[in-house]
Amino acid sequence: MSNSNFVDYVKIFCRSGKGGAGSTHLRREKFVPKGGPDGGDGGRGGHVFIKGNSQLWTLLHLRYKRHIYAGDGESGAGSRRTGKDGNDVTIEVPVGTIARNAETGEIIAEIVENNQVETIMKGGRGGLGNWNFKTPTLQTPRFAQPGEDREEGFVVFELKILADVGLVGFPNAGKSTLLSAVSAAKPKIADYPFTTLVPSVGIVNYRDDRSFVMADIPGIIEGAHEGKGLGLRFLRHIERNSMLLFMVPADSDSVSEQYSILVNELKMYNPELLEKKRVLAITKCDLIDQEIKDDIAKNLPDIPAVFISAITGEGITQLKDMLWNNINSEHK
Q: What is the pLDDT of residue 192?
A: 39
Q: What is the 3-state secondary structure (H, E, C) of 268-316?
A: HHCHHHHHCEEEEEEECHHHCCHHHHHHHHCCCCCCCEEECCCCCCCCH
Asked whether residue 39 falls in the same domain as residue 21, the answer is: yes
Letter for the amino acid at 210? R
Asked whether residue 275 falls in the same domain as residue 326, the answer is: yes
Q: What is the pLDDT of residue 219?
A: 60
Asked whether residue 150 falls in the same domain as residue 182, the answer is: no
Say whether pTM exceeds 0.75. no
Q: What is the CB-side half-sphere exposure of residue 10 using CA atoms within 13 A?
A: 20
Q: What is the pLDDT of residue 201?
A: 75
Q: What is the pLDDT of residue 156?
A: 95
Q: What is the pLDDT of residue 231?
A: 41
Asked whether residue 173 falls in the same domain as residue 283, the answer is: yes
Domain boundary among 159, 175, 196: 159
Asked whether residue 133 falls in the same domain as residue 203, the answer is: no
* H or E element, residue 178: helix 175-182
- Beta strands at 211-216 and 163-169: parallel, antiparallel or unpaired: parallel
Q: What is the pLDDT of residue 194?
A: 40
Transcribe 56-103 into DSSP letters. ---SGGGTT--EEEPPPPPPPBTTTBPPPPPPPEEEEE-TTEEEEETT
Asked whether residue 154 falls in the same domain as residue 176, the answer is: no
Asked whether residue 78 falls in the same domain as residue 177, the answer is: no
Q: For residue 263, is it left (φ>0), alpha (ψ between -120 and 50) or beta?
A: alpha
Asked whether residue 171 falls in the same domain as residue 151, the answer is: no
Asked whether residue 208 falls in the same domain as residue 99, the answer is: no
Asked whether residue 208 falls in the same domain as residue 127, the answer is: no
Range of the domain at 215: 163-330
Asked whether residue 154 falls in the same domain as residue 167, the answer is: no
CATH no. for residue 268? Answer: 3.40.50.300
For the sheet with 277-283, list strands across it. Answer: 200-205, 211-216, 163-169, 241-249, 277-283, 305-307
CATH no. for residue 14? Answer: 2.70.210.12
Domain boundary among 107, 125, 159: 159
> How does pLDDT run along the chain (332 residues), one tens digit per residue?
344 566 788 999 999 999 999 999 998 887 777 778 999 999 999 999 999 998 888 888 998 888 999 999 999 999 999 999 999 999 999 988 999 999 999 999 999 899 999 999 999 999 999 999 999 889 889 999 999 999 999 999 988 877 888 888 887 777 778 887 887 555 444 443 444 445 677 788 888 888 888 888 766 655 444 444 444 455 667 777 888 999 899 888 888 999 998 888 888 878 888 888 999 999 988 888 888 888 988 888 889 999 998 888 899 999 999 999 888 875 44
Domain boundary among 115, 142, 159: 159
Asked whether residue 208 falls in the same domain as residue 64, the answer is: no
- The number of domains in the chain is 2
